[in-house]
Amino acid sequence: MELRILGCHSATPKPGEYPTSQALLVKNRWLVIDAGEAMQIQLRRYGVKFSRIGHIFISHLHGDHVYGLFGFLSTLRLLNRQTDMHLYGPLPLKELLDTVFRHTQVELTFPLHFHPVTGNEFKRIADDSQFEVFAFPLKHRIETHGFLIREKPAPRKLNMDAISKYPEIGIWAYHNLKAGKDFVTEDGRIIPNEELTLPPPRPRSYAYCSDTAYYPAIVPYIEGADVLYHEATFSEADRELAEMTLHSTARQAAEIARMANVGKLIIGHFSSRYKDPSVLLREAREVFPDTELAYEGKILIF
């Protein structure tokens, strides 16, 4: 997987800062997570081809996570896109888009499939041949969902050294071997799959939690994710503000990462009150050392 941070600041950006938006490469597909204003400009800047984006996930309907959607979809129309686009987000997003496009005369040239994300349980919302995506509730001032994106397991790898010992195994048999099946010789002898193949690389997973107050209920959903992006709008010094606005402190984000035993934590959605977000980084690392700061243009390959 490859994550590109397009914007990672909260809603009152300073010069050079952008509201929340990310692109995630899963095998050969780009997924977009949240669509802060100027997302299309940031996608261009950081080299994500529009034509390779087929799925957009919107966590919640605050403007700093969704106002970039209108311009992006309008541009796809101007580029005469024909291929399907899948959009996942809160139920009212459909009416919002319809109204904006009606008033601004946007008629899409491509099928836009809207999948409402609702409910309070952990559930699968997308099932692609390359990945699956699960949604789960976060705790914010408005209905908000986090997302877990998980690669589908790759096929097993052929162990050519082992296979070459059996001249009766032809290329025609490889497909079944990759799928994990044993090989059966003409005389009915079984050669176990484990002898002929190697396990595939472990499927990667990415968890996205923004915006949310400290909410340990999500820990089981994101347990063991390779990378967790968790909002850290405030520092502990402003904890009261965090509680009032249902955002997290950097320490709280790190607590979640520690409890969920993730591989790495990325914090973002910084309030503009912090001139230098390294104060948030230090705070988080005290609890969870493998923490990094999000910044516009950051690329993480995992």
Least Cβ distance, residue 159 to a second copy (angstroms)? 45
Identity of the residue, 100 or 154, whose beta carbon is nearer to a second copy in the bound complex: 100
Cα(95)–Cα(82) distance, integer angstroms: 22
> 145 or 150: whose CB is closer to a second copy?
145
CB of 76 to a second copy, least distance (A): 9
Q: Which is nearer to a second copy, 22 or 271 (CB)?
A: 271
Residues in Cβ contact with 98 at an 8 Å cutoff, skipping those fewer than 6 apart: none
Count how many residues are written for the chain.
Answer: 302
Q: How far is CA 63 from CA 20, 38, 95, in A?
A: 10, 12, 15
Of 100 and 219, nearer to a second copy (C-beta) is: 100
- Residues 245, 112: Cα–Cα separation, whole Å: 33
- Applying CB under 8 A, among 2, 25, 29, 45 the residue interacting with a second copy is 45
Residues 99-158 that bind a second copy (CB under 8 A): 99-100, 103-106, 141-142
Decide: is 159 part of the binding site for a second copy (CB under 8 A): no
User: Over 23-53, what HEC string results?
Assistant: EEEECCEEEEEEECCCHHHHHHHCCCCHHHE
Please say whether the beta carbons of 215 and 198 come within 8 A: no
For a second copy, the binding residue among 2, 25, 75, 238 (CB under 8 A) is 75
Touching a second copy, residues 257-296 (CB under 8 A): none
The stretch near a second copy (CB under 8 A) out of 38-46, 203-211, 224-232, 260-268 is 38-46
Of the pair 28, 105, the CB lying nearest a second copy is at 105
Spell 154-169 as b/e; 16+ CB within 10 A means b: eebebbeeebeeeeeb
Q: For a second copy, which residue of 8, 11, 23, 287 counts as binding (CB under 8 A)?
A: 11
3-state SS of 162-179 is: HHCCCCCCCHHHHHHHHC
CB–CB of 56/71 below 8 Å? no
Do 61 and 92 form a contact (C-beta atoms < 8 A)? yes
Structure tokens at 104: 């601004």
**Those residues with Cβ within 8 angstroms of residue 263's Cβ, 6 or more apart along the chain or in another chain:** 224, 225, 226, 227, 290, 302
Give the whole-angstrom CA distance, residue 170 versus residue 176: 11
78 binds a second copy (CB under 8 A): yes
**Residue 12 interacting with a second copy (CB under 8 A):** yes
Q: Which of residues 79-98 bind a second copy (CB under 8 A)?
A: 79, 92-93, 95-96
Marked catalytic residue, from 64, 84, 127, 276: 64
197 vs 212 by CB, closer to a second copy: 212
| b/e code 91-101 from CB counts within 10 Å (16+ = b) | eebeeebeeeb
Is there a catalytic annotation at residue 64?
Answer: yes
Q: How many residues bind a second copy (CB under 8 A)?
A: 40
14 binds a second copy (CB under 8 A): yes
Kindly write out the interface string for residues 51-70 of this chain, putting x where it contacts a second copy by CB under 8 A and - elsewhere: ----------xxxx-xxx-x
- Contacts to a second copy by CB under 8 A: 11-19, 37-38, 40-41, 44-45, 61-64, 66-68, 70-71, 74-75, 78-79, 92-93, 95-96, 99-100, 103-106, 141-142
Which residues are the active-site residues?
64
